[in-house]
A and B are shown apart, each in its own frame.
Chain A
Amino acid sequence: MLNPDSVGRTFAGVDVITVTQEEINSFAAVIGEKNTSVAPPTFSIRISLREFENILTKPEIGLNWTRLVHGDQKFEIFRPIVAGDSLTTSATIENYKIAAGNEIVTVRSDLFNGSEKVVSSWSTLVVRA
């Protein structure tokens, strides 16, 4: 169970994430995207989902990642991610509820290149009862 006291907390990412051309190429290849000068629109999930896992499975937060399914997803893309971006991350636990025994948590990720916000995204994650 998620610790309800964690709702509203924001966590700064520990590492600066440097995006490589190889990562963009691999992601683009899956969907058949030939233009790899910018990252595909959903590329940032590669960064945010790992960050959410790191935060939500901390012992003091306590989410059970093994029974997790993805409920919904939203991206606001201020500019496309490109190779060489050095992204700092911030994640906020925005909402938490229990419905029919399922835990439903909404987490937000903000990615910055220096002071420039690049992408905000929201993931609603469901821990099945």
Chain B
Amino acid sequence: MIEVGTAIPSHEYEINRALLKQYADASGDQNPIHQDEAFAKSVGLPDVIAHGMLTMALAGKYISDWAGGSQNVKEFSARFTKPVIVPAGKSVDLTVSATVLEVIGKSVRLEISATSQGVKVLGMAKALVEQGN
């Protein structure tokens, strides 16, 4: 039974430099701050950071899985509050969870939480999904 306040189990995704390159190629966003450590540091970042839209794409996968498929996601919004920092040679987590905010017939509004290395990386993240399509 889905009701307001229902907590949806969290899922952990792995992000590493290879995934950033793969996302850059798939999305067309080749900004060097997502691939080139020297460049990222030269513009004041601590290290290479993930594309905010990669974080959002992974959160979108989480929502799609819960909703029974991408076709059931009707609205999706988020603020990029902190970068996901991706050091060379290791994978970092993106841990996504959600809570049911509102149920209107077949439509469910979710509030999404996303953290990496314990830091909240998405703010005001919400989605509207329709179940059972």
Which A positions have Cβ atoms within 8 angstroms of B?
A: 23, 26-27, 29-33, 35, 38-42, 45-46, 49-50, 67-77, 79-80
Contact = CB atoms under 8 A, between A and B. Distances in A.
A33 B64 contact: yes
B110 interface: no
Contacts of A49: 27-29, 53
B41 interface: no
A30 B19 contact: yes
A71 B79 CA distance: 6
Given A27-B26, A27-B27, A50-B28, 19 more contacts: A23-B26, A26-B25, A26-B26, A30-B23, A31-B57, A31-B61, A32-B13, A38-B70, A40-B60, A45-B27, A46-B28, A69-B52, A70-B52, A73-B52, A73-B78, A73-B80, A74-B78, A75-B77, A77-B74
Contacts of A73: 52-53, 56, 77-78, 80
A80 B13 CA distance: 24
A79 B69 CA distance: 12
Given A30-B23, A41-B60, A70 B80 contact: yes
Contacts of A29: 22, 26
A72 B124 contact: yes
Interface centre among A31, A32, A40, A80 (most CB of B within 10 A): A31
A71 B73 contact: no
B58 A31 contact: yes
Contact of A33 (B61, B79, B80, B124): B61
Contacts of B60: 31, 40-42
B26 A76 contact: no
A74 B75 contact: yes
Interface in B92-133: 124
Those 8 A-B pairs whose CB atoms lie nearest each other, nearest first: A74-B77, A72-B79, A26-B26, A41-B73, A31-B61, A41-B60, A70-B52, A27-B26
A82 to B, nearest CB: 9
